[in-house]
Structure 1
Amino acid sequence: MGCWQDLPSDVVRSLAASLHGVDDLARLAVTCRSWSEALTGYRPAFTSPQFPWLVPTALYELQQVPMYSPNTCRFHRFPPPTPFLGRGTRVVGRHHGWLVVLDASLRVHVFNPVTGDRARRSLPAFPKEVHVRKVALSSSPSAAAAGNDGIDVVAAAAVYDGFDKAAIIFARAGDDAWTGRIRLPFPYVAEVAYCHRGGGNFFVMNPDGLYQIVNPSGPVGAPAWIGPAPFQSFDIFKYSSLVSSPSSGHLLAVGRVEWSLSMTISRTPVVRKFNPPDAAAASSGGSSSSCWVEIKDLGDESLFVGGGHAMLLPAGGSGNRIRKNCIYYSGGFHSSSNSELFDMDKGIFEPLPGPPKSCLFWFLPSLS
């Protein structure tokens, strides 16, 4: 019998097809050089939900994108498509396994760090006078990277061009410049998210409430104020994260009570669901604060928040250790230290294994 390093490529790929996710595939590929070559370009379809990885928002390494897997307590390092990483390079967005990275020259790079694919049509560079807070995409660039020109990726970017001047600007993949600037009536942006419900709209959240940008694919109009969700009188509540549910189209906002008239501060995160109105109702610009509902149960899903990014993922599945009805924090709820989760059933926090660094966000590895 020959050495295991000499297994035929089809046998190595058969082994890979029986794995549970990208985490296992990455470990298999580094077993030896011959196995790595056999798995180059191989992309099995994993059906089980994947456990996300932790990625630093600031990328200082010159040749690699470091990613930490809490599922295996190991680092994975992937070379970017081009060696653009360095001081001043940071992640400003992510969508379905793709990263939106801004380099020191304000050029935008959209790529899948696991596969090395780049977006077929790039986003324009930002003007020098702005500071970019966050870039949100309307859809995954994977279909466009595969050559499907029918996929139109729209991006909304939250930018600052002054001490108290926040704005949203738009661009389509392939555009030469960012356009359609909308001045926001608040100086700070906590989150930007795209929701497919109601014809597809971007939502902008500051710590106090939510704004809806109506019809970004057409003429850009003024933002419609959604308003804060009802809470106890005189309590000061601050939002921190916003995510769109891929299945229902609802928006979920996560926050906490910062100050209370009773002088007792709750250590419990608060999750609120917002049901966006249809396109006709949204265009009227009316307040929709009555659509906010506080929820205590995420069902068979869990929230992953932190580092200016959030996602909602299904729990369970073989090889998946995502616990249902939990909120996973990449930097900790109480401080910017280690990661932790909040079990909504038990009402308690639990520590998570991870690098003791702040400014980390959750990233879902993908082969598409």
Structure 2
Amino acid sequence: MACSQNSKTRNTGSTEEPTWSELQTDLLQLILKKLSSFEIIIFRSICTSWNSAAESYKLSQTPWLINPTEGQELDADFFNLEENNVQTIKNVFESFPKHTSRWGSSHGWLVILYKEATLHLFNPITGASIELPEIEDIPDTTKGFYWWHIYTARVFFEEPPSGKNVNYLVVIGIRHPARLSFCKQGHISWTDLDGVSDYDYHIDMVFHNDQLFTLDHEGSVEVWDFRVPYPIMKTHHLRAYSICNWNGPKRYAWLVVSTSGEILRVKSATYNDQRFLISKLNLAAEKWENVDRLGDQVLFLAPKQAMALSARDCPGCEENSIYYTFPGKPQVVRVYSLNGNKVVEKSYNFHRKKTTAPLWIVPDPR
């Protein structure tokens, strides 16, 4: 968008082109104070000088839900939890084919997968895109490999990405036979992780302190150490945590790194069952330990992801709570409070395409 606009001066009546890019920083700061988070992101896209003026302005960390607009997969609806409204951005996904799968997210970046089994990293706010190595480069993968062979994909960053500094790790789970493969910034091909059995199915994974933690379908935790050139795996067979003999389907489980660096597991019996169990990983004792309170934390759950943030950084969100949306609740974000272990009355209604799973993102315009 240009930083200029034709107007008529009061003195001469001549047409001049004011240079909006030369507005003083103090004036731009006054404008920024009046804007919502969404408007600040649009503000930054106007021109270089406006973007620079907004760089020091800290955006809210309250996540947004991103979902393709009904009937138009190139557009995207962003549900703003803080402001309880939906903003539509046109042609967000115009550089990708229709019918893509979206996984993620981390620091505002998604993993985009489409039918030809082609993978990209994509920031829907800035439009930045990184093409990942060809999927056929994965060992033992033959031609004719398609997107449905991938059951999960995650992107992790060792530090928040900025400009051209995007130091990423991407891990994908592949069916038939089961395997986990990864690539990092600068890699030209995928590398299989050793130790995955042909029947392993990984429900979720997180990356912390240069270690990849996965939760498999049997409840075991596998840890790969990326501090060495070839990641080494160690399996921890943990006794499944249960309470009141309640053991919900294992597929409704998430791993999440807490704000204090602990590995948490969140379990739900079903998508429609409004109860959650939280436990933290104690590798030394080889067990999960019950967690009754999240303190200042807020958890955000969606079918393909989970994230933990501090309530102090998320205006409008309640601490010690879980904000969740599931396929069974296609147009609602509900709030589960650990104060009494119940769903509070507050809920947020939004319109979205029911057949597509939404994703939480923390918008990052860098």
TM-score, with length taken from structure 2 = 0.76
Contact 2:236 2:283 survives alignment (8 Å): no
Q: CA deviation at 1:336?
A: 5.0
Partner of 1:364: 362
SS in structure 1 opposite 2:349? coil
Q: Deviations over 1:211-268 (max 9, x none)?
A: 22322352234451342443248542435211112x422111110346xxxxxx9842
Distance 1:37 1:96, change over 3 A: closer
> In structure 2, what is the Cα distance between the partners aligned to 1:116 and 1:87?
17
Alignment counterpart, residue 178 of structure 2, candidates 150, 156, 166: 166
Q: Tell me whether 1:110 sits opposite 2:127 in the alignment.
A: no
Q: CA deviation at 1:312?
A: 0.4
Alignment counterpart, residue 294 of structure 1, candidates 290, 293, 316: 290
Q: How does 1:229-248 map to 2 (within 5 A)?
A: 229-232=240-243, 235-237=246-248, 238=250, 239-245=252-258, 247-248=259-260
Partner of 1:305: 301
> In structure 2, what is the Cα distance between the partners aligned to 1:233 and 1:347?
14
Question: Higher strand fraction: Structure 1 or Structure 2?
Answer: 2
Gapped regions of structure 1 (runs ≥ 5): 259-264, 278-287
> In structure 1, what is the Cα distance between the partners aligned to 2:37 and 2:280?
31
Partner of 1:272: 279
Q: Deviations over 1:111-133 (max 9, x none)?
A: 322122334xx421323526222
Alignment counterpart, residue 135 of structure 1, candidates 144, 153, 165: 153
Instruction: Let me know the Cα RMSD of the aligned residues.
Output: 3.6
Q: Deviations over 1:281-323 (max 9, x none)?
A: xxxxxxx533x21111111110001121111011135x81111
Alignment counterpart, residue 179 of structure 1, candidates 191, 195, 198: 191
Partner of 2:319: 324
> In structure 1, what is the Cα distance between the partners aligned to 2:178 and 2:163?
35
Q: Tell me whether 1:146 sits opposite 2:163 in the alignment.
A: yes
SS in structure 2 opposite 1:316? helix
> In structure 1, what is the Cα distance between the partners aligned to 2:71 and 2:214?
29
Alignment counterpart, residue 194 of structure 1, candidates 207, 213, 217: 207
Alignment counterpart, residue 311 of structure 2, candidates 307, 315, 322: 315
User: Which AA in structure 2 matches 1:251?
Assistant: I
> In structure 2, what is the Cα distance between the partners aligned to 1:96 and 1:158?
21
Distance 1:90 1:140, change over 3 A: farther
> In structure 2, what is the Cα distance between the partners aligned to 1:27 and 1:170?
34
Partner of 2:135: 126
User: Which AA in structure 2 matches 1:69?
Assistant: N
Distance 1:187 1:215, change over 3 A: closer
Gapped regions of structure 2 (runs ≥ 5): 1-8, 11-16, 137-143
Question: May I ask how many residue pairs the two structures share in their alignment?
Answer: 331
Radius of gyration: which is bigger? 2
Partner of 2:3: none
TM-score, with length taken from structure 1 = 0.75
Q: How does 1:12-161 map to 2 (within 5 A)?
A: 13-18=28-33, 22-26=37-41, 39=50, 43-47=54-58, 49-56=60-67, 61=72, 63-72=74-83, 73-77=85-89, 79-80=91-92, 83-119=94-130, 122-127=131-136, 128-129=144-145, 131-139=149-157, 143=161, 146-148=163-165, 152-160=167-175
> In structure 2, what is the Cα distance between the partners aligned to 1:353 and 1:338?
5
Contact 2:200 2:217 survives alignment (8 Å): no
SS in structure 1 opposite 2:254? strand
> In structure 1, what is the Cα distance between the partners aligned to 2:213 and 2:190?
18
SS in structure 2 opposite 1:129? coil
